[in-house]
Chains A and B, each alone.
Chain A
Amino acid sequence: MRRAGLALVVALILAMPFVAGDYYVTLMLPFFAYSVILLGLNLLFGYTGLLSFGHALFIGVGAYAAAFLTSKFGVMHLEAILLAAAGAAVLIAAPIGGLCVRYVKIYFAMLTLAFGMLFHSFLLKFYFVTGGDEGMRVLQPFLLGFDLSQIPKVRFLTRPFYYYSVVVLAVATFVMWRIVSSPFGLCLRAIRDNPDKAQSLGVSVKRYRWYAFVISAAYAAVGGALLGPTTGQVDPNLAYWTHSGNIVFMMLLGGFANFFGPLVGALVFIFLQDTVMSIVPYWRLVFGAILALIVIAAPGGLMGLLDRRAVSWGEKSRQGGAPP
């Protein structure tokens, strides 16, 4: 049942460039990028119990890595760019995470927020390197060694880059699935549920939290690097704290208790934002209301609602089948 659902979704995604208009196909590109980011963010929150309010920092690291490499260093291979983005994020996240995981709950959230703000100011102030609030250009990268610059931009985005992003997301999903189903993943959930107990069972709480932090930062950076080629442009807003808020919103919208929940959240967020923005100028107002509604009425997010449905359906059918 679950497998069939997943297969259907994959088939739809693969068919989309041939059945949907270019506009909607390009809307899927940020969805793939945010999905990678959210897989990482949810490892940290849903599985480890740490809410980062500064993850836009690592999105920024990835996006600017793509910008620097393509427009300053002439590194055009997207594979190399993604690896470099992940590597840069690991280097930056290691010391930051080492400090942040000593704190939990609101203190952890505030510390990550603080680092996010620092990085944002850095991007603005060092304008001679980063272009300040103008940002930087991201040149069209090579995919698997192929220079596709002779293809029109829209065509590039809706075909080769689209499928490239799908593959990156598939690999990222597979790896994350392995991580959460590993002994390490179990330890993370134990830490989330009760760090004192986990520690008394010999689980190195801080060390594992740190691993989770660094992994999630690498995911954010890979997603960030994928964001660049779509717009051809990066700017400090990518690293601004409201952007951190947006991805937390996506995660809550879809439901962090479910592996795929945050991805559903990203999809709904992106398409809803697009629709609402075209109708009313105050999309934040609408989104604020939705967020409030979710927290109050559906703390498990959209996937939580689905799950509850499934449970009650299952119970009903079982009751129906059992003798009185």
Chain B
Amino acid sequence: MILRARGLRRYFGEFCALDGVSLEIREGEFVSVVGPNGAGKSTLINVLTGLLKPNAGRVFFKEREITGLGPVKLCRLGMARSFQLVHIFPELTVLEFLKVAVVSRLGRGGRLFSSLARDREVHGQALEVAELFGLAEKQTTPAKHLPQGDKKLLDVASAFALQPQIILLDEPTSGVSTREKHTIMDILVSASKRIGIKSIIQVEHDMDIVFGYSDRIIALHQGKLLAEGTPDAIKANEVVVNTVVGKKEWARRA
């Protein structure tokens, strides 16, 4: 078991966005979190990664309790994440962007007087990730000048550059055309194998992607766990299909 959560609850004022969710993620698993808008998917990711503190419940990472630890500490332990909305460093070039992650992982951020340009190790590792994600040709482009799709890819790539054991991706392919989605998903899967990432949790709306890539699916609705199971089990689960996908949509696809 790499990640385990019990009874997670999170309020925003009176509103309960996450209402007693428990889950277990095993090593080697690709898990998708699905649910309609406002189901609490992002809140779940934020609580698991320490960005938000839960009002109740506990989280364990490799049997060690991590409830309440912040993102920086979790990062050290081997957990990385990307955000639903694109998060970039606009003024940094693609390579500098990835170097931030590498510098952080190697614990070199506190080096005040050493030359970053001469650090071959950081350079090499950042370039390697750029190559894995097909961004090597744009390595000197400032992130703000990248097309939207590449911004998203760079955002995700920097999380991979942390070489985490588990990575949580909040809609890694949002805002990208369906055809590109598959390309990106293939990149993510092969990159995680190369880097040695054990488990992936992703939030995704596109059910083709969800069914195509997941080992297991967790469905949320109104902050509660609606169902969980293999893609086949979820496909056969009418309640999930109705709430998450919508009956008409499902009929149209069938």
Beta-carbon contacts under 8 Å, A176-193 to B: 178-179, 181-187, 189-190, 192-193
Among B49, B72, B109, point to the contact of A183 (Cβ < 8 A).
Answer: B109
Chain A residues whose CB sits within 8 angstroms of the CB of B24 once the complex forms: none
Binds B, one of A129-137, A197-205, A259-267, A286-294: A197-205
CB atoms of B116 and A183 under 8 A apart? yes
**CB proximity of A8 to chain B, nearest CB, Å:** 25
**Count of residues in A whose CB is under 8 Å from the partner chain:** 27
> A182 vs B101: C-alpha distance in the bound complex, in angstroms?
14
Contact A204 B72 (CB under 8 A): yes
Does the CB pair B109–A200 fall under 8 Å? no
Most interface-central of A185, A189, A196, A197 (chain B CB within 10 A): A197
The answer to whether A193 and B112 touch (CB under 8 A), given A183-B119, A187-B103, A201-B159, is: no
Asked whether A183 and B81 contact (CB < 8 A) given A201-B159, A203-B109, A208-B109, the answer is no
Contact of B100 among A181, A186, A211 (CB under 8 A): A186
Q: Which residues of B contact A184 (CB under 8 A)?
A: 109-112
CB pair B113 A178 closer than 8 Å: yes
B132 CB → nearest A CB, Å = 17
**CB distance B116 to A186 under 8 Å?**
yes
Asked whether B159 lies within 8 Å of A186 as measured between CB atoms, the reply is no
The reply to whether the CB of B62 lies closer than 8 angstroms to some CB of chain A is no
CA distance A128 to B44 in the complex (A): 60
Q: Nearest chain-B residue to A198 (Cβ)?
A: B100
Q: Residue A312 at the B interface, CB < 8 A?
A: no
Interface residues of chain A: helix, strand, loop or mixed (majority): helix
Contact A189 B103 (CB under 8 A): no
Contacts of A181 in B (CB 8 A): 115-117
| Complex: chain A residue closest to B117, CB-CB | A181
| Chain A 156-194 interface mask (CB, 8 Å, partner B; 1/0) | 000000000000000000010011011111110110111
Chain A residue at smallest Cβ distance from B89: A193
Residue of A nearest to B114 (CB): A182
Q: Mark B85-102, 1 if CB is under 8 A from A, else 0.
A: 001111110001101110
B116 touches A199 (CB 8 A): no
Q: How far is the CA of A202 from the CA of B78 in the complex (A)?
A: 10
Is A179 a contact partner of B100 (Cβ separation < 8 A)? Answer: no
Task: List the B residue with the shortest CB-CB distance to A178.
Answer: B113
A190 and B110 in contact (CB under 8 A), knowing A181-B115, A199-B71? no
A43 to chain B: closest CB distance in Å?
11
Q: Mark B13-31, 1 if CB is under 8 A from A, else 0.
A: 0000000000000000000
Q: Report the separation of the CA atoms of residues A216 and B199 in the bound assembly, to the nearest whole angstrom.
A: 43
* CB-CB nearest in chain B for A188: B109
Which residue of the partner chain A has the closest CB to B116? A183
The answer to whether B111 and A190 have CB atoms under 8 Å apart is no
B174 at the interface (CB under 8 A from A): no
Q: Choose one: A193, A196, A202, A205; the contact of B162 (CB below 8 Å).
A: A202
Task: Enumerate chain B residues within 8 angstroms of A192, measured Cβ to Cβ.
Answer: 91
Contacts of A175 on B, CB cut-off 8 Å? 113
Please indicate the chain B residues that have their CB under 8 angstroms from the CB of A182 in the complex.
111-116
B13 to chain A, nearest CB (A): 21
| B residues less than 8 Å from A189 (CB atoms) | 89, 91-92, 96
B-chain residues with CB within 8 Å of residue A193 when the two chains form the complex: 88-92
The 7 lowest CB-CB distance pairs between A and B, nearest first, are: A202-B75, A193-B89, A202-B104, A197-B87, A183-B103, A187-B109, A190-B100
25 A-B Cβ contacts within 8 A?
Answer: A181-B116, A182-B112, A183-B109, A183-B122, A184-B109, A184-B112, A186-B116, A187-B104, A190-B92, A190-B97, A193-B88, A193-B89, A193-B90, A194-B88, A194-B90, A197-B89, A197-B158, A199-B71, A200-B51, A200-B71, A200-B82, A201-B80, A201-B158, A202-B101, A208-B109
B residues adjacent to A (C-beta < 8 A): 49, 51, 70-72, 75-76, 80-83, 87-92, 96-97, 99-101, 103-105, 108-117, 119, 122, 155, 158-159, 162
Given A183-B111, A198-B100, A203-B72, 18 further pairs, Cβ under 8 A: A178-B115, A179-B112, A182-B113, A183-B109, A187-B100, A187-B104, A189-B96, A190-B92, A193-B88, A193-B89, A193-B92, A197-B89, A197-B155, A200-B51, A201-B104, A202-B101, A204-B109, A211-B112
